[in-house]
């Protein structure tokens, strides 16, 4: 695949295309392929680097700064939640854990009923989901590929009689090395970088890495293109790119797309830009076992607990639980405390199983801009979601004890160690209060929401901006609510589902 | 507020800033080969890391490299954080000495206060220090055998 690296550009560029796509992950990669297939002249701009499989070193301190926004240190503005968002060619599909779930029918029904979304019933999307799953080789993870950490989750659920099951993934040729979250050196991920962008490039799409979009240019109610800067090896802008295009697709994540929309001064008569941020805030709980777990080996996440996940409106069971294992640096940052206490738990590293509880959140945050132009993420977990976090902590602790843990560690401040049911019951909501426990969010959604009512959404159900002709959004920003599960397949699918509308727009505008 | 009071206040603040700057820059061992940290910043971070991981390693050198590649705004924020840890946090905990001159138990008390501070931003600041410490320490393959961690499956 031919990729033009921004750091290698020697002069400013002015280019013309039918469509400029900002972002190259699930949304942008799919849009690039679909629009290239439709015959459009496509340019893809990705802020992050182009990393080949052989450049994935499996070293956290090396890969985190390359693969994640703000070198892995992106936080909400109150420093309460770490937000993990991708920035390499292929976007978050390069570092995600390859979990594949469709959007639940309850969520789609809610979008239609309360958010004026049309054309996205389960039956409307089913063929698209099937096509995406075929394209990306999605299949259930076999029991033989379940590592010890996931076996503990399955065992705990069986002992408790709770609902759970195997997850599906999009890997082919997985070596089970366990480093998925910092890029696969075996090229096993059937992701945007491997499956979609190469086909787009083979059909003439021009793909740029290390290029940061600065503004969507617009005039007279129509988009005119993109202004961007090529980044040098130090991440500083060193050359300018001006791309004239009849259509622009924002696909830089719910954070990046919203920030670009705000920087561009897009029309926003009903003050909707950047609002409605959901993130699936999550926390980890560790269990200490007599036997070795070696959770860093094998497929990191292959089993789930859905006992506490009911996606119907008004539900008070909004917790999705799966495994979450980190390599030493990630584990050390997650484990609470410092000094002797911390070291004691780190010495147990290979005997730890870790579960993660993510909340199907109702808290609503907002993406804004800082003075230096970076995205500012305002998000506070509300009381209802805090109760769900507590539910998640307790459920994880129960599963780990039922799975055979001799001690469970809740990484709150101060840390809580539990060995009995009574101790689990005694965990109070204080343990999950803001800044009292390490929270992570890996699924930003919903800042440029879709819907057919311009007063409550930014784009239509076709992803077209309500006020600006030629501007489309095709990423997780579209979701009007949280979806309560991993978003990669939903983003791939929505982008595939809505790309024909972009192609139609191009045909009409050229005629 | 009268103009005289305002000027008086500004003078006091100015002297405090200059004084803190002079104090801050003196009495620290020179460190060769740093890319971005000043000697006093290196000393502060080195002392913090020693309490975080209970060892003296090259983690602080790594943090210097890591921060050197960070955006200027992040380096500036870290500089403010190191100054806070060195000068103000000990005072808040009842110690009159700089952080780097406290004994280990007192340093632990300062870090514990920061970790559990009522203000969320301060807890966040603790996490920044902890992340730098843990990254610097556990990136070292020499720490892995004690964890039972076998390291990358590929060696390029």
CB contact under 8 A, A338 and B115: yes
B124, B153, B156 member nearest A75 (Cβ): B124
Residue B20 pLDDT: 59
β-sheet bridge partners, residue A216: A226
Whether residue B138 lies within 8 A of chain A, CB to CB, comes out as yes
Q: How far is A227 from chain B (nearest CA, A)?
A: 22
pLDDT at A234: 86
Q: Is B84 on the interface with A (CB under 8 A)?
A: no
- Residues A95-116 have pLDDT tens digits of 999 999 999 999 999 999 999 9
In angstroms, the separation between the Cα of residue A370 and the nearest Cα of chain B is 12
What share of chain A has pLDDT > 90, as a percent? 96
pLDDT grade, residue A356 (50/70/90)? very high
- Residue range A239-290, pLDDT digits in tens: 999 999 999 999 999 999 999 999 999 999 999 999 999 999 999 999 999 9
Looking at every residue in chain A, the average pLDDT score rounds to 96
Q: How far apart are alpha carbons A191 and A94 in whole angstroms? A: 7
According to the model, what pLDDT value does residue A69 have?
93
Q: Which residues lie below 8 Å from residue A480, measured CB to CB, with a gap of 6+?
A: A111, A114, A115, A117, A276, A446, A449, A450, A451, A457
CB contact under 8 A, B152 and A59: yes
Nearest to B153 among A58, A73, A342 (CB): A58
> Which pLDDT score, from 0 to 100, does residue B5 have?
59
- Cβ-Cβ contacts under 8 Å for A117 (sequence gap 6 or more): A108, A111, A450, A451, A452, A461, A480
Strand, helix or coil for residue A397: helix
Q: Which DSSP symbol is given to A192?
A: I
- Is the Cβ–Cβ distance between B30 and B45 less than 8 Å? no
For B:5-64, CB contacts with A below 8 A are 51-54, 62
Helix orientation angle between B39-53 and B104-115, rounded to the nearest 10 degrees: 90
Q: What is the pLDDT of residues A186-196, one digit of tens each?
A: 999 999 999 99
Whether A376 contacts chain B with CB within 8 A: no
Does residue B33 come out as left (phi exceeding 0), alpha (psi in the -120 to 50 range) or beta?
left
Q: Looking at the predicted structure, is the pLDDT value of residue A219 above 80?
A: yes
Residues from chain B that touch A349, judged by Cβ atoms under 8 A, are: 147-149
pLDDT tens-place string over residues A419-473:
999 999 999 999 999 889 999 999 999 999 999 999 999 999 999 999 999 999 9
Whether pLDDT at B27 is above 90:
no
pLDDT, position B156:
46
Note the ipTM here. 0.91
Report CB contact under 8 Å: B153, A79. no
Helix (H) / strand (E) containing B47: helix B39-53
C-alpha torsion B31→B36→B38→B43, nearest 10: -70
How far is C-alpha B36 from the chain's CA centre?
A: 13
CB atoms within 10 A of CB A135: 17
Distance of CA A21 to the CA centre of its chain: 18
Instruction: Answer yes or no: do A57 and B51 touch at CB < 8 A.
Output: no
Render pLDDT for B95-142 as a digit per residue (tens, 0 to 9). Answer: 999 999 999 999 999 999 999 998 888 999 999 999 999 999 999 999
Does the distance separating the beta carbons of B124 and A435 come in below 8 Å?
yes
């Amino acid at each position: 695949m031919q990729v033009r690296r921004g750091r290698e550009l020697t002069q400013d560029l002015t280019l013309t295309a039918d469509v400029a796509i900002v972002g190259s992950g699930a949304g942008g990669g799919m849009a690039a392929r679909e629009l290239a297939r439709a015959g459009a002249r496509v340019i893809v701009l990705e802020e992050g680097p182009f990393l080949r499989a052989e450049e994935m070193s499996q070293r956290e301190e090396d890969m985190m700064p390359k693969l994640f926004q703000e070198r892995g240190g992106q936080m909400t503005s109150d420093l309460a939640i770490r937000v993990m968002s991708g920035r390499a060619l292929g976007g978050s599909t390069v570092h995600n854990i390859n979990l594949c779930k469709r959007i639940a029918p309850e969520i789609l029904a809610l979008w239609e009923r309360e958010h004026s979304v049309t054309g996205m019933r389960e039956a409307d999307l089913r063929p698209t989901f099937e096509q995406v799953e075929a394209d990306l080789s999605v299949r259930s993870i076999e029991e033989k590929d379940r590592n010890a950490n996931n076996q503990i989750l399955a065992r705990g659920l069986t002992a408790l009689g709770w609902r759970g099951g195997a997850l599906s993934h999009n890997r082919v040729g997985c070596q089970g090395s366990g480093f998925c979250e910092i890029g696969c050196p075996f090229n096993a991920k059937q992701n945007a970088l491997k499956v979609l962008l190469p086909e787009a490039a083979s059909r003439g799409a021009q793909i740029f890495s290390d290029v940061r979009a600065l503004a969507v240019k617009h005039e007279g109610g129509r988009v005119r293109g993109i202004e961007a800067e090529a980044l040098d090896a130090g991440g500083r802008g060193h050359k300018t790119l001006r791309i004239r295009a009849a259509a622009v697709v924002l696909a830089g994540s719910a954070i990046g797309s919203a920030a670009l929309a705000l920087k561009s001064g897009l029309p926003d008569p009903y003050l909707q830009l950047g609002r409605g941020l959901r993130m699936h805030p999550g926390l980890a709980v560790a269990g200490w076992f007599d036997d070795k777990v070696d959770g860093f080996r094998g497929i990191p996440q292959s089993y789930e607990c859905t006992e506490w996940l009911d996606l119907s409106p008004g539900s008070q069971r909004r917790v999705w639980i799966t495994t979450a294992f980190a390599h030493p640096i990630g584990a050390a940052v997650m484990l609470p405390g410092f000094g002797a206490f911390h070291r004691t738990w780190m010495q147990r590293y290979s005997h730890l199983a870790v579960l993660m509880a993510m909340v199907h959140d109702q808290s609503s945050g907002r993406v804004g801009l800082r003075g230096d132009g970076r995205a500012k993420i305002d998000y506070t977990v509300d009381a209802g979601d805090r109760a769900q976090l507590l539910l998640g902590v307790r459920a994880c602790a129960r599963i780990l004890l039922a799975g055979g843990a001799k001690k469970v560690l809740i990484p709150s401040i101060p840390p809580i160690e539990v060995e009995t049911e009574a101790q689990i019951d005694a965990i109070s909501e204080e343990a999950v209060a803001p800044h009292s426990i390490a929270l992570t969010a890996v699924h930003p959604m919903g800042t440029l929401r879709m819907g057919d009512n311009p007063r409550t959404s930014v784009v239509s159900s076709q992803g077209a901006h309500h006020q600006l002709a030629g501007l489309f959004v095709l990423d997780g920003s579209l979701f009007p609510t949280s979806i309560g599960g991993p978003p990669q397949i939903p983003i791939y699918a929505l982008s595939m589902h809505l790309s024909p509308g972009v192609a139609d727009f191009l045909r009409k505008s050229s005629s | 507020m009268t103009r005289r009071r305002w000027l008086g206040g500004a003078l006091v603040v100015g002297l405090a800033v200059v004084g803190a700057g002079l104090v801050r820059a003196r009495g620290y061992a020179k460190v060769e080969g740093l890319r971005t940290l000043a000697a006093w910043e290196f000393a502060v971070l080195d002392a913090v890391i020693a309490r975080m991981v209970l060892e003296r390693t090259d983690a602080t050198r790594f943090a210097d490299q890591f921060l050197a590649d960070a955006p200027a705004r992040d380096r500036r924020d870290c500089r403010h954080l190191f100054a806070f840890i060195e000068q103000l946090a000990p005072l808040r905990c009842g110690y009159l000495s700089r952080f780097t001159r406290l004994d280990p138990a007192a340093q632990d008390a300062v870090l514990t206060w920061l970790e559990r501070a009522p203000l969320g931003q301060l807890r966040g600041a603790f996490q920044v220090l902890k992340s730098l410490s843990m990254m610097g320490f556990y990136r070292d393959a020499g720490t892995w055998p004690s964890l039972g961690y076998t390291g990358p499956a590929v060696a390029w």
